[in-house]
A = this chain, B = another copy of it.
Amino acid sequence: MGRTSDAGEKILTAARSLIELRGYSALGVAEICKAAGVPKGSFYYFYESKEALALAVIDEQWAGQRRTWTRILGADAEPLERLRLLFEETEAAQRAGQHDCGTVAGCLFGNLTLEMSNQTEAVRARLQEIFEAQVEMVGAVLDEAAEREEIAAADTRAAARAVVAQLEGRVMFAKLYNDTQWLGPLWANCLALLGANAAQQAAAGA
A residues sitting closer than 8 Å to B (CB atoms) are 21-23, 25-26, 103-106, 110-111, 113-115, 117-119, 124, 127-128, 131, 158, 161-162, 164-170, 172-173, 175-178, 182, 185, 189, 192-195
Contact = CB atoms under 8 A, between A and B. Distances in A.
Given A110-B114, A172-B172, 10 more contacts: A25-B26, A26-B26, A124-B176, A161-B173, A164-B169, A165-B169, A166-B166, A167-B169, A189-B193, A192-B194
Nearest 3 CB-CB pairings of A with B: A165-B169, A169-B169, A25-B26
A162 to B, nearest CB: 5
A113 B23 CA distance: 12
Copy count, this protein chain: 2
SS of A interface (majority): helix
B166 A165 contact: yes
Contact of A118 (B113, B114, B175): B175
